Chain A
């Protein structure tokens, strides 16, 4: 049995943790560090940081936030948004990230996937895909928080990205993101069965049943959660327990201190 990873996704705008709907209309939640520390103490398996306005400015601004987090948080951190070059990836990794998530730059220059994988290892290179459904069983890859379409078929693009060296796929359903309507199970299943690397399902988790469904039916290897955690509709310990009760493998975690 494999253990599913429970990941907190932190969308960041400037100095703030924010949450949107369909990756837009951001509402401020609070300080990224306070929330990240809170999730770490609750036993989150991983953190994903996304700079939501990076593509607007053409660069990732999360260096300081990651440096601060890395002092006290000892679980893997993935950082995405505005990573345009191997040099950008190097800077983010140096500030304390373990992996980089690349979307826009990989679409405009797929070679960057191979370059990052060669330089830092495939395990560092997460292919981030923003998917919008265009027909039954078909999705198109988007960039810039689901605003710019690319003409790329999501399943094809995921397959190609993995063959170029991506070690993991972060698959966000723009249609479901922030809606609490559940994950796009067909999307996750279509990608997960086509690629040999782990797939992180992102976008739409409204309740723990959604997680169970995307793992059992969708074949997700990890689940990114935002709304459900940020609005305190469920805590990580409860999610872990309910998942385990449904026969899903999760990390056994003993709380040391949740202050």
Chain B
């Protein structure tokens, strides 16, 4: 059976890259901003690049906030990518404090501009970093990363990062300047990747294929 996936089209983000990667994985992709079609989906992806506040405003204008919040209640798997992941949290510190979708408890904070040793480091964090299980999880069985090996690298490009309140929601981390950055977060059927699986070569495609099986 061909897996189907809805990618939320809200005018921001690189949704075509996400669409191409999903199609490469054999999925039938529907791009839509129609709340009814989103709620009728087998699984949903919320992409996004750019600014948190603007993205949240667009979701509100399109009347999508209620529909997205409804997805977990209906047990429809939801994957946020990059900014789409950050939007899943309660709030963000980007340009003042902005409320998010509130599906995973926590907030979005700046990537530290100094390493732990106090040396200035470049922001945005751009590049390929290895995924590692966080201390709180005992491996990636039954998660988005089930088929990924620890230390396989994926592509990050971001200036802000998720800080979930509950550590068990941190499924994987990467290191930047000796700081731990939440790379994959998840809570039941709501999950998010800080990196871009659609731009992370074969490792990224494995992650998307896994999501298509949920």
> Taking beta carbons and an 8 Å cutoff, which residues of A are in contact with B?
1-5, 40, 43, 45, 70-72, 74-76, 93-94, 96, 98, 120-124, 167-168, 196-199, 221-222, 251-254, 256
Contacts and interface: CB of A to CB of B under 8 A. Distances in A.
Nearest to B205: A74
B46 interface: no
A2 B14 CA distance: 25
B16 interface: yes
Contacts of A94: 16
A5 B122 contact: no
Nearest to B174: A3
Interface in B128-173: 128-130, 151-153, 155, 157-159
Given A3-B153, A40-B201, A198-B124, A123 B158 contact: yes
A206 to B, nearest CB: 24
Nearest to A71: B20
Interface of B: 14, 16-17, 20-21, 24, 49-51, 113, 120-124, 126-130, 151-153, 155, 157-159, 175-178, 196, 198-202, 204-205
Contacts of A71: 20, 24
A197 B176 contact: no
Q: Name which of A121, A168, A197, A251 has the most chain B CB atoms within 10 A of its CB.
A: A121
Contacts of B196: 76
A43 B128 CA distance: 11
Nearest to A121: B50
10 contacts: A5-B128, A76-B155, A96-B16, A98-B17, A123-B49, A167-B124, A168-B126, A221-B126, A251-B128, A256-B202
B122 A3 contact: no
B151 A124 contact: no
Contact of B175 (A1, A123, A124, A198): A1
Contact of A98 (B14, B24, B202): B14
A120 B15 CA distance: 12
Q: Please report whether the interface of chain A is mostly helix, strand, loop or mixed according to DSSP.
A: loop
A252 B151 contact: yes
A197 B201 contact: no
A93 B20 CA distance: 13
A70 B17 contact: yes
Most A CB contacts (10 A, CB to CB) among B120, B129, B200, B201 go to B201
B200 A74 contact: yes
Given A74-B205, A196-B113, A251 B17 contact: no
Contacts of A120: 49-50
Contacts of B124: 122-123, 167-168, 197-198
A96 B17 contact: yes
Nearest to A70: B20
A201 to B, nearest CB: 13
Nearest to A93: B14
A191 to B, nearest CB: 12
Contact of A45 (B17, B21, B127): B127
A251 B123 CA distance: 18
Give the 5 A-B residue pairs with the shortest CB-CB distance, closest first: A251-B128, A121-B50, A251-B153, A198-B122, A256-B202
A252 B199 contact: no
Contacts of A122: 124, 159
Given A93-B14, A198-B124, A121 B49 contact: yes
Contacts of B199: 74-76, 98
A259 to B, nearest CB: 13
A122 B121 CA distance: 17
Contacts of A196: 113, 120, 122-123
A183 B25 CA distance: 40
